[in-house]
Chains A and B, each alone.
Chain A
Amino acid sequence: MTGSRYEHENARIDFSRSLSFSFDGRSYRGYEGDTLASALLANGVRMMARSFKYGRPRGIVGAGAEEPNALVQVERGAVTIPNLKATQVELYDGLRAFRTSGSPSLSFDLKSFVGPFTRFMPAGFYYKTFHVPWMWRAIEPVIRKAAGYGEAPRDPDPDIYDHVHHHVDVLVVGGGAAGLLAATIAARAGLHVMLLDEQKELGGWLRSAPSTTIGGLPARTWIDARTSELDGLAQVTVLRRTSAYALHDMGLVEAVEQRQDHVAPDGRDATAPRQRLHRIRADRIVLATGAIERPLVFGNNDLPGILTAAAITTYLNRYGVLVGQNILLQTNNDGVYDGAIDLARAGARLTIADARSEIDPGRKSRAEASGIDVRTGHVIAHAFGWRAVKGAKLIRIGADGAVLPDGGDVVVCDAIGSSGGLSPTVHLYCHDGGRPQWDENRLAFVVPEAGRAAAGIYCAGAVTGAFALGEALTQTAKVANEAVVASGKSRVTLDFDLATDELAHAPARRIFRLPDGEAEGHGKKAFVDFQNDVTAADIHLAVRENYRSIEHIKRYTALGFGTDQGKLSNVNGFAIAADALGKSIPEVGTTTYRPAYSPVTFGTLAGAHADATFEPKRYTAMHPSHVARGALFEPVGQWLRPWYFPKDGEDLDAAVRRECLAARNSVAMMDASTLGKIDLKGKDVREFLNRVYANAWTQLAPGKCRYGLMLDENGMVMDDGVTACIADDHFLMTTTTGGAARVMTWLEKWHQTEWPDLDVFMTSVTDHWATASVVGPKSRAVLEKVCPDVDLSPSAFKFMDWREGTVAGVPARVFRISFSGELAFEVNVDAGYGRHVWEALMEAGRAFDITPYGTETMHVLRAEKGFIIVGQDTDGSMTPLDLDMAWAVSMKKPGSFIGKRSFARSDTARTDRKQLVGLLTDDPDVVLQEGAQIIESWPAALPVPMLGHVTSSYWSATLGRSIAMAVVKDGIARRKPDGVAAGRDIVYAWAGGKAHKVKIVSPVFVDPEGARQNV
């Protein structure tokens, strides 16, 4: 028996509540309060994984977020989660966990047979194979199959997730002794406090050290006192099972709360989130994130049963699990002794190998009084065993690190704990640019005690290197009060004592890699990073191959990657690299700490931005009418617009042919509500329009409309639309659907920053007006039925006029404008009446078989007339002249307009730019591919010079043939008589290996005289 239960009152385990669970297909029992890791250790399970590269047996190393090996897949099916650390999985009845490595089984792993050949898989193995292309191609599939751990779920996630935003005065991260004290001080000062802790209960390391006392109170009593006070205060929020994984600028901390992971899947509340993302904006942040013990690096230090000493202590004191009966602790510091005494008291036989030649006699005698065999000046040369550790070979080292010839011994044991000292959890401090500092006395990268108070970040406890409890509490009280005073509150004087009963800490020995008397690479493998199978020899090799920066060494060896992000390995890796480089540790520095501190699920990051609420969908007032008529929709920006209205099983082409012919021959109707609409008012509104549009607005009379091109500073077309004069000082501008917000921002920017003197206000009315575009020869007849108070006759209501009147009993603005070239009326009403008016128009048009149409037919109708769509026929590099739209530019109007000056640039002014033209294919049945390249001739030798590309291409039912629009170099001249005479109008459109002969023509294919819209 290697692991066993040791029931005691301080264990956070309910021994009356037994739970069943399974791992890798075998059933076990644990207790309420266990983690999967503690329960497996109690069941004597040693091997839980195979290593990434060498397939070596691996077991649990840590007790929390630092765990590198014990990655498990929890549950099956849609709720399955890969690569959870067994140390962080709370046990529930019926939990099923599975191995994520080991193939075909844990006990028989094919990769482990590679072991003897590992000299062929050195550090940077992948990179080395890149040098020989055939080698990478041959090896990649093998590596891909072998690599990785768990499996992502294949089914949609049945769980829900949400986000919550908080605003607090003080956020305390970490609920150990320092965090509890800091939160108490801030709360007593009257501040709004939030305290986060990743465990299910507060206390942190104090839970692992129950015999400690603070102010004479046992640790547990002290925790209870602090916790009940905080839980009882209205201005304090305590979040348990909540891991702060990112710290951003401006005091924003993101934390994930595991709300239901500890509940069996069938017992979870389906209406409540499984995990919740907290976004906490705090005026001040106290980082009390503690420290994680790092192991020492020695031969075969990866054998199952070799843990950190702190983890062995935690499993005993927190979980009531004795990891082994014969335990060897290897240390270079005082930190392991208290835990060792607890282990001895629980009945284990303890040996401590202390790398220091001398230790505090009081500490030594206290240990020996507990029956512990303390061997100073000893280190583990290597451990032995395979699927479980069976013992270790000790050697003696001198003060200079040299291996001494005498002494040394073999210790038979079933568990080894090693401690190389503590590594402060500096991650959050570093996320927004902070850097930790190497403290040579404490042998740790620490954060400055002063934190970064100017940025509102304070650091308390072990994270600053205050590893002794008493020192940590004193330092925390000081820092927490600094945060209190900075928050404008009075310093808090505590009514409880912070004195502890610790022995004074003696200095640690500076050692990371334990010597084994052999040159690096020749002894047993000594692992630095377990998850990535990085050995001390790998780091030496990387340095020999001339990697000098720790960031490069990290990437070459994979040190510090993976789900544990090097929490155990980094400092050892930095120190070994420093040694190999002959530099000091501060000179080598650290790699960069980036969010996330520990893995976060995609579901949590997405929160409610999923499924139906993934992205806003904007609907027009007529949307239910379109749904009722069977429309298919397409997204245009965030809008959902009818795409086409299929009838009787029609496909897109058939429906669009029918809709187009209805518009050309009778009457059809489109929902144009999505166009951007901006109401402009003020005595300078005409001047404003003159500046933002390329054409002139001074003379446009009330009741009239005009088309305008809006240019950017470079003279390129950025938007277009029709603007109506409502009154002398009042205009209504329309924009493209997708450009509405951009144009509004653009207008406001110019007005606010450049022309604040202009008396003009602009307000978006896009959502206020619902617009039905009634199109076709019979549109007037339809309007006449529902619009009794407007004279619709051609002489009274001309093309590009607008009138105010009543449509279907509703006040309306009717515009005689056309995006189809047909007689057309756009009816605008208060959107609250939009659906009513749409239905009234459909009813009025029934006699003419009025046909609703969508965006696809709109595109064809406009292309038949050569009307551009900004963003489709333009791409931000087209001037009005490129579009052959000089008529929409007034170079003569007084003053300037945005983009005007750019027309004088030589590149803008040259005449052979890409220009918009129409294309007719030689074969009228061929509909060109949009994006097809225009080339001069075909066949031709590659590479072929490109003249331009097809921007729009459709089948025209009206013409009974295909049409296309394109931008072509010097295109306008090519279609003029000289160009045609020279044969320059004949080019080829190439796509997908095929070229079609095309003729460059005017883009106006239907009714070039404009007769149809002027009736």
Chain B
Amino acid sequence: MSDTATKPRLETPLAHLGLAARAEKPDTARGVWANEAIPLSVTVLRGLATDAAFLAPATEALGVELPTAPCTRVSRDGRTVLWISPDEWMIVADREQGSDLRARLAKALAGQRHQIVDNSGGFTLLRLQGRNARDVLAHVTVFDLDRLRGDRVVGTTIGKATAHIFAEPGGYGLIVRRSYAEYIWAFIERAARPYGFGVAPSGGPPVAPAPVT
């Protein structure tokens, strides 16, 4: 067996852009700092929010309650649960947590109406930080960013692709599909050009939202 076969190499969708090599410590000289997060686990959980037999064991297994208010998220202990639709949540966590998390969910939900899907390879998390992060988002998405504060998350468009966007302290997180990641990155980089654009070091899973003032 060859060497490559024994040491699997895990690549994020933008790995080939060499962003790590371009990364710098963010400063105020440039208005926008962006990067792609390290590989994360993304789990899609489907079930009916009205179904207590689903909701209670799912919450128990996750250690995080599933948000049932539309367009909100809950982040705790490195795990973030995003409300996607009335019967869909996306759970973002460290890559290593993924299989254990799915196994616990599967066990807890056995026999209940539900679906658990590992979509870790299908998404990536992009981050926009810096004083002009909001300006750049206003260029690329139609959503009213005044309404994207605190624990809000929204599924919307970026250019001609889709993303789930949420606020994080200092900026925004964007969960995008793998195959569209390069287009979205290029679209954002283009929009950011007038403000000064830098590549920040990679981050981890989403962090808890800042309280709304």
A832 at the interface (CB under 8 A from B): yes
Contact in complex: B122, A831 (CB < 8 Å)? yes
Q: How far is the CA of A82 from the CA of B123 in the complex (A)?
A: 46
A722 at the interface (CB under 8 A from B): no
Contact in complex: B144, A763 (CB < 8 Å)? no
Contact in complex: A763, B5 (CB < 8 Å)? no
What B residues does A786 contact at CB under 8 A? 1-2, 5
Q: How far is the CA of A809 from the CA of B13 in the complex (A)?
A: 20
A830 at the interface (CB under 8 A from B): yes
**A332-376 with Cβ < 8 A to chain B:** none
Contact in complex: A836, B9 (CB < 8 Å)? yes
Q: How far is the CA of A839 from the CA of B8 in the complex (A)?
A: 11
Interface of B is mostly: mixed
Q: How far is the CA of A621 from the CA of B123 in the complex (A)?
A: 12
Q: How far is the CA of A764 from the CA of B88 in the complex (A)?
A: 12
Per-residue contact bits, chain B 111-150, to A (CB 8 Å; 1 contact, 0 not): 0011111111111000000000001001111111010000
**B25-65 with Cβ < 8 A to chain A:** 39, 44, 46-47
Contact in complex: B194, A272 (CB < 8 Å)? yes
Q: How far is the CA of A698 from the CA of B138 in the complex (A)?
A: 50
Residue of A nearest to B194 (CB): A272
**A925-943 with Cβ < 8 A to chain B:** none
Contact in complex: A840, B11 (CB < 8 Å)? no
Contact of A832 with B6 at beta-carbon distance under 8 Å, contacts A619-B182, A682-B113, A763-B44 already known: no
Contact in complex: B8, A809 (CB < 8 Å)? yes
Contact in complex: B121, A836 (CB < 8 Å)? no
A888 at the interface (CB under 8 A from B): no
Residue of A nearest to B181 (CB): A619
Contact in complex: B190, A765 (CB < 8 Å)? no
What B residues does A994 contact at CB under 8 A? none
Q: Which of the candidate stretches B68-76, B172-180, B204-212 sits at the interface with the other chain?
A: B172-180
Contact in complex: A166, B1 (CB < 8 Å)? no
Q: How far is the CB of A848 from chain B (nearest CB, A)?
A: 14
Q: How far is the CA of A788 from the CA of B138 in the complex (A)?
A: 51
A815 at the interface (CB under 8 A from B): no
Contact in complex: A616, B159 (CB < 8 Å)? yes
Q: How far is the CB of B42 from chain A (nearest CB, A)?
A: 8
Q: How far is the CA of A160 from the CA of B115 in the complex (A)?
A: 46
What is the interface residue range for chain B against chain A? 35 or more
Contact in complex: B7, A809 (CB < 8 Å)? yes
Q: How far is the CA of A569 from the CA of B140 in the complex (A)?
A: 40
Contact in complex: A612, B186 (CB < 8 Å)? yes
Q: Tell which of A621, A681, A761, A808 touches B13, judged by Cβ atoms closer than 8 Å.
A: A621
Q: How far is the CB of A25 from chain B (nearest CB, A)?
A: 35
Contact in complex: A785, B1 (CB < 8 Å)? yes
Q: How far is the CB of A18 from chain B (nearest CB, A)?
A: 31
Per-residue contact bits, chain A 815-836, to B (CB 8 Å; 1 contact, 0 not): 0000000000000011111111
Q: Which of the candidate stretches A130-138, A709-717, A767-775 sits at the interface with the other chain?
A: A767-775
Contact in complex: B120, A682 (CB < 8 Å)? no
Contact in complex: A840, B191 (CB < 8 Å)? no
Q: How far is the CA of A844 from the CA of B180 in the complex (A)?
A: 30
A615 at the interface (CB under 8 A from B): yes
B161 at the interface (CB under 8 A from A): yes
What B residues does A621 contact at CB under 8 A? 11, 13, 121, 178
Contact of A808 with B8 at beta-carbon distance under 8 Å, contacts A167-B144, A616-B161 already known: yes
A790 at the interface (CB under 8 A from B): no
**B182-200 with Cβ < 8 A to chain A:** 182-183, 186-187, 190-191, 193-194
Contact of A770 with B121 at beta-carbon distance under 8 Å, contacts A609-B159, A618-B179 already known: yes
Q: Tell which of A609, A639, A681 touches B160, judged by Cβ atoms closer than 8 Å.
A: A609
Q: How far is the CB of B181 from chain A (nearest CB, A)?
A: 8
B12 at the interface (CB under 8 A from A): yes
Q: Tell which of A165, A763, A844 touches B138, judged by Cβ atoms closer than 8 Å.
A: A165
Residue of B nearest to A259 (CB): B194
Per-residue contact bits, chain A 164-188, to B (CB 8 Å; 1 contact, 0 not): 1111000000000000000000000
Residue of B nearest to A752 (CB): B87
Contact in complex: A608, B178 (CB < 8 Å)? no
What B residues does A681 contact at CB under 8 A? 46, 114-117
Contact in complex: A616, B183 (CB < 8 Å)? yes
Q: Tell which of B9, B119, B178 touches A763, judged by Cβ atoms closer than 8 Å.
A: B119
Residue of B nearest to A272 (CB): B194
Q: How far is the CB of B4 from chain A (nearest CB, A)?
A: 5
Residue of B nearest to A281 (CB): B144
Q: How far is the CA of A609 from the CA of B161 in the complex (A)?
A: 12
What A residues does B116 contact at CB under 8 A? 681
Residue of A nearest to B47 (CB): A761
Q: Tell which of B11, B122, B146, B191 touches A768, judged by Cβ atoms closer than 8 Å.
A: B122
A478 at the interface (CB under 8 A from B): no
What A residues does B160 contact at CB under 8 A? 609, 615-616
Contact in complex: B146, A167 (CB < 8 Å)? yes
Residue of A nearest to B182 (CB): A619
A617 at the interface (CB under 8 A from B): yes
Contact in complex: B120, A768 (CB < 8 Å)? yes
Contact of A809 with B5 at beta-carbon distance under 8 Å, contacts A613-B186, A761-B115, A767-B122 already known: yes
Contact in complex: A165, B121 (CB < 8 Å)? no
What A residues does B135 contact at CB under 8 A? 164
Contact in complex: B5, A840 (CB < 8 Å)? yes
Q: How far is the CB of A847 from chain B (nearest CB, A)?
A: 11
Q: How far is the CA of A271 from the CA of B189 in the complex (A)?
A: 12
Q: How far is the CA of A609 from the CA of B143 in the complex (A)?
A: 18
Contact in complex: B117, A763 (CB < 8 Å)? yes
Q: How far is the CA of A788 from the CA of B2 in the complex (A)?
A: 13
Q: How far is the CB of B180 from chain A (nearest CB, A)?
A: 6
**A774-819 with Cβ < 8 A to chain B:** 785-786, 788, 808-810
Contact in complex: B194, A835 (CB < 8 Å)? no
What A residues does B10 contact at CB under 8 A? 832-833, 836
Contact in complex: A767, B2 (CB < 8 Å)? no
A620 at the interface (CB under 8 A from B): yes
Contact in complex: B141, A810 (CB < 8 Å)? no
Q: How far is the CB of B123 from chain A (nearest CB, A)?
A: 7
Residue of B nearest to A610 (CB): B190
Q: Tell which of A166, A612, A682, A765 touches B122, judged by Cβ atoms closer than 8 Å.
A: A765
Q: How far is the CB of A611 from chain B (nearest CB, A)?
A: 8
Q: How far is the CA of A998 from the CA of B112 in the complex (A)?
A: 59
A273 at the interface (CB under 8 A from B): yes
Q: How far is the CB of A758 from chain B (nearest CB, A)?
A: 10
What B residues does A604 contact at CB under 8 A? none
Q: How far is the CB of A764 from chain B (nearest CB, A)?
A: 8
What A residues does B138 contact at CB under 8 A? 164-166
What B residues does A619 contact at CB under 8 A? 13, 179, 182
What A residues does B146 contact at CB under 8 A? 167
Q: How far is the CA of A281 from the CA of B13 in the complex (A)?
A: 34
Q: How far is the CA of A770 from the CA of B187 in the complex (A)?
A: 24
What A residues does B143 contact at CB under 8 A? 165
Q: How far is the CA of A844 from the CA of B10 in the complex (A)?
A: 19
Q: Beyond A832-B121, A836-B9: 20 further Cβ-contacts under 8 Å?
A: A164-B139, A165-B139, A269-B194, A281-B144, A616-B183, A618-B180, A619-B182, A621-B13, A763-B88, A763-B117, A765-B122, A767-B119, A767-B121, A768-B120, A768-B122, A808-B5, A830-B120, A831-B122, A836-B10, A843-B2
Question: Can you pick out 26 interface pairs between chain A and chain B where the beta carbons lie within 8 Å of each other?
Answer: A160-B193, A162-B139, A164-B139, A165-B139, A165-B143, A281-B144, A613-B186, A613-B187, A613-B190, A616-B160, A618-B179, A618-B183, A761-B87, A763-B117, A766-B122, A767-B178, A768-B118, A768-B122, A786-B5, A809-B7, A809-B8, A830-B118, A833-B8, A833-B9, A835-B11, A843-B4
Q: Please name the 8 residue pairs, one residue from A and one from B, whose CB atoms are nearest each other, closest first.
A: A831-B121, A768-B122, A767-B122, A761-B115, A618-B179, A167-B144, A761-B46, A830-B121
Interface residues of A, Cβ cutoff 8 Å to B: 160, 162-167, 269, 271-273, 279, 281, 608-609, 612-613, 615-621, 623-624, 639, 679, 681-683, 759, 761-770, 785-786, 788, 808-810, 829-837, 839-840, 843-844
Interface residues of B, Cβ cutoff 8 Å to A: 1-2, 4-13, 16, 39, 44, 46-47, 87-88, 113-123, 135, 138-144, 146, 159-161, 177-180, 182-183, 186-187, 190-191, 193-194
